[in-house]
A = this chain, B = another copy of it.
Amino acid sequence: MAEGGAGPGGGESLLFLTDEQLRKGIEAMFFAYRGFTADPDRILERYEYGRAHHRALHFIHRSPNTTVNNLLSMLGVTKQSLNRVLRTLIEDGLVESRVGRKDKRERHLVLTDKGAQLERELSEAQRGRMRAAYRAAGPQAVAGFRQVLEAMMEPDMRRQYQKLRDGGA
């Protein structure tokens, strides 16, 4: 299973594909994801919200007026699970649910000022860490980081991601 040594095909060293290297990458993902969520988690605690609320706020901010179904396919959870989170956000006045103009079955979701404020607080904390990591690693490393992450996604998620990446700018 392990592939090592400089292969004849391409002339590039394939040492980076050894099982040992792959295991290190797996551990890096595990530990890094903890850092990735650490700052928002601390903030959310103060507001008595959880990660699920953060994710909803993030994607509603990113795609204002998105429908519940859209949001569901982004988040990859069941509507029952999302609904619980969404209900509290609406009750607490962070999110507004607007009946669709064309299709009145649909609910279009937008952040209220209060919701935008919390989203900003969470996002700023998360971006702060990201920015520090990016700066420390440098632009070339960042490009590689993004490439590997994208290649790791499941195809449907990759499509979701690319839509945001290209259109949402």
Which A residues have a C-beta under 8 Å from some C-beta of B?
Answer: 1, 12-13, 16-17, 19-36, 38, 55, 58, 62, 76, 123-124, 126-127, 129-154, 157-158, 160-161, 164-165, 169
CA distance A26 to B135 in the complex (A): 15
- What are some 20 contacts across the A-B interface (CB < 8 A)? A16-B139, A21-B134, A21-B142, A22-B131, A25-B142, A25-B146, A26-B58, A29-B33, A30-B55, A31-B160, A31-B161, A34-B153, A34-B154, A35-B152, A36-B152, A136-B151, A138-B144, A141-B143, A142-B148, A145-B148
Q: From A55, which residue of chain B is reached at the shortest CB distance? A: B30
CA distance A45 to B130 in the complex (A): 33
Contact with A28, one of B17, B19, B34, B150 (Cβ below 8 angstroms): B150
Q: From A120, which residue of chain B is reached at the shortest CB distance? A: B1
CA distance A38 to B158 in the complex (A): 14
CA distance A46 to B84 in the complex (A): 28
User: Quick check: A29 and B24 within 8 Å, CB to CB?
Assistant: no
CA distance A77 to B24 in the complex (A): 21
CA distance A92 to B35 in the complex (A): 33
CA distance A129 to B35 in the complex (A): 22
Q: Chain B residues with Cβ under 8 A from A169's Cβ?
A: 20
Q: Chain B residues with Cβ under 8 A from A149's Cβ?
A: 28-29, 31-32, 145
CA distance A32 to B19 in the complex (A): 20
Q: Chain B residues with Cβ under 8 A from A55's Cβ?
A: 30
